[in-house]
Amino acid sequence: MDKMQIWLVLSLTLLSAFMLLPLVYIFNHAFKPLHELFLFPPTFFVEQPTMQNFYELLSLTESAVLPVTRYMLNSLIVTVLSTIGMVVLGALCAYPLSKHEFPGRKLIFGGILLSLMVAVETMGIPRYVIVKHLGLMNTYAGHVLPLLALPVGVFLLKQFMDQVPNELLEAAKLDGASDFGVFRRIMLPLVTPAMATITILAFQTAWNNAETSALFMQSDAMKTLPFYITTLTANLANNVARQGAASAAALVMFIPNLLIFIASQRKVIATMAHSGIK
């Protein structure tokens, strides 16, 4: 390598290390004892690591009707169902928008793009009215259905499918493949990188969502972990209590996002670097 390449590699390495600092901090913060959490000036690395924060997180619900594991189970069920639903519906919506000509196609796609600019908070009341009238309060469907529409997923998949040659699909149809067969056997394998990217976005949306628990779930047995975490330090008489449990809970919420990204990172890079067909 010449000097320019060496400097470029070193610069990118330093930049990567800098970008990893928040990850290092959140792991260290979760294992800090209470006195280190409130040190001034604050410390970046933990000096006396402890598991007490995690014990505190688990013990908070020992005297309650529901343990914290119930909230975790709800989050797991809702996240899996929502992620699968968002990816499948996104692909089913993007395919006809990309490869079929029908009246109003551009208008529908324009509406999807317009929805990207709508603040989620403005949809709270309409969503509540719809979920209530459908009888979905205190059900897993009340968690999942409001999350299924993922406009950014439809947009990304549609743009990725546009790069797949129409001639390839027509050749498959001439060989006797049905339209759904073309979609399942040809289109989906070609857009796998984009679907992996959508999976990450869908997972993060569902896993970090506390809105459905706050709006649609009156029973604590149906609420999820993100909502429970928001209650850890709420309405307390001081700002010190439960901070250790909150730091541990933040790590618990972060780890699944990290794992799903690591598992799909190559596909995400392929989404940005390649077209729909190689």
Sign of the C-alpha dihedral computed for residues 212, 69, 36 and 44 taken in this order: negative
Encode pLDDT of 121-139 as tens digits.
788 888 889 999 999 899 9
How far is Cα 83 from Cα 68, in angstroms, rounded to an integer?
A: 22
Give the whole-number percent of the chain exceeding pLDDT 90: 16
pLDDT attached to residue 253: 87
Counting beta carbons within 10 angstroms of the beta carbon of residue 194, is it exposed (0 to 12), middle (13 to 18) or buried (19 or more)?
buried
Q: Domain residues of the chain, as ranges?
A: 67-273
Inter-residue contact 95 to 183 (CB < 8 Å): yes
pLDDT attached to residue 16: 85
Q: Is the confidence at residue 226, as pLDDT, over 60?
A: yes
Encode pLDDT of 48-77 as tens digits.
888 888 888 877 766 666 788 888 899 999
pTM of this structure: 0.82
pLDDT attached to residue 277: 45
Q: Is 188 helix (H, G, I), strand (E, B) or coil?
A: helix
Q: What's domain 67-273's superfamily in CATH?
A: MetI-like (1.10.3720.10)
- Which region among 89-93, 134-138, 234-238, 267-271 has the lowest average model confidence (pLDDT)? 234-238
Q: How far is CA 47 from CA 31, 92, 147, in A?
A: 9, 51, 41
Of the ranges 78-82, 195-199, 216-220, the best mean pLDDT one: 78-82
